[in-house]
Structures are given as C-alpha cells and as structure tokens.
C-alpha cells in the first residue's frame, strides 16, 4: 500500500513540492551563510518525493542555534513552503482518493516551517 500511495503522491504533488524545496535549497546554498538551511531543504525535498513509510521526529540534541535558525527560516522560506502544502492539501482532499495524500501534505507543514532540529526516520 505504501508503494501505491507513494507513486500516486509522486505524480500528483510530490514532484512539484520537491522542486519547491530544491529551489529553496539552491538559493540557500548560493548564499554561503545559509548552507545549513539549504541542506535541510534538500533533506525535506527527499522526504517530499516519497513520504509514506517515513515520519518526522524531533532531535533532542538540537539547541538554541536550531531555534534561531528556524525563526530565520520561517521568515524567509518556511511560510511559502507551508502555504504550498496547505493549498495542495486542500486541493487533494476534494476527492476521496486524494484524502490520504492531503493528510500527508498537512503532516509535512511542521517540518516545512521548522526544518532544523528534526529528522526523517522510517516508520516501523
């Protein structure tokens, strides 16, 4: 079932959301000081391509630098990406088949807002 959902996800919205994260990552990597944001964006782009079977969990060792970085990320890129997930999630929830995909989009909003201090792990 995960494979089927991931394939449908990839075609309907995963590819486009991953492109958004890659664009944000490239912009962040061009500016030398924001390379950690770029790396986090590339990590989330990978998750946006194939989300079913993986989940987000907070890293306990993340400190104040992650908090400050997340505030900067929200201001410059996070809210745009979260808005993309909200719009795509509502559009997918219009159909019965798209409801699980819409829920997955809503599940990705927290990591799009605060990518530093979280990690992507496989579900059991």
Instruction: Quick: pLDDT tens for 66-97.
Output: 888 889 888 888 888 899 889 989 998 998 98
CA angle 124, 84, 31 (to 5 degrees): 95
**Encoded tokens for 27:** 């912009």
Instruction: Quick: pLDDT tens for 18-71.
Output: 998 899 899 989 988 889 889 989 999 999 898 888 888 888 887 888 888 889
Chain Cα centroid distance, residue 119: 11
pTM value surpassing 0.85: no
The secondary structure of residue 123, as a DSSP letter, is: -
Q: What is the pLDDT of residue 8?
A: 87
């Amino acid at each position: 079932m995960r494979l089927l959902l991931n394939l449908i996800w990839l075609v309907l919205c995963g590819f486009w959301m991953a492109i958004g994260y890659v664009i944000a990552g490239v912009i962040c990597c061009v500016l030398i000081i924001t390379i950690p944001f770029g790396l986090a964006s590339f990590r989330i782009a990978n998750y946006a391509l194939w989300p079913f079977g993986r989940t987000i969990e907070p890293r306990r060792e993340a400190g104040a630098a992650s908090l400050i970085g997340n505030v900067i990320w929200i201001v410059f890129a996070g809210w745009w990406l979260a808005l993309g997930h909200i719009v795509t999630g509502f559009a997918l929830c219009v159909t019965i088949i798209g409801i699980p995909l819409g829920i997955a989009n809503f599940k990705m909003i927290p990591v799009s807002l605060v990518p530093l201090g979280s990690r992507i792990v496989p579900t059991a």
